[in-house]
Amino acid sequence: MLDITFDGISPQRVYDRLLEWRKASQFTGGLGIYPSSGFVHIDTRGRNAIRRGF
């Protein structure tokens, strides 16, 4: 599991790009966005999942 942030790039933009990559079969795993905390969560559970925090 990995929680990521990028200076100057919103969590929504990071999440959207990762979702595009997952839809293009570039990886399989869970994605979560936690806007109020300012990070995106990625995991490699071997199946796709979506999480949305506050």
Tens of pLDDT, residue by residue over 2-54, are 899 999 999 999 999 999 999 999 988 899 999 999 999 998 777 787 777 76
Give me the pLDDT at residue 54, please: 60
How many helices and strands, by DSSP H and E, does the chain display? Answer: 1, 4
Give me the pLDDT at residue 12, please: 95
Give me the pLDDT at residue 52, please: 75
Q: Which of 42, 3, 45, 40 is nearest to 53 (CA)?
A: 40
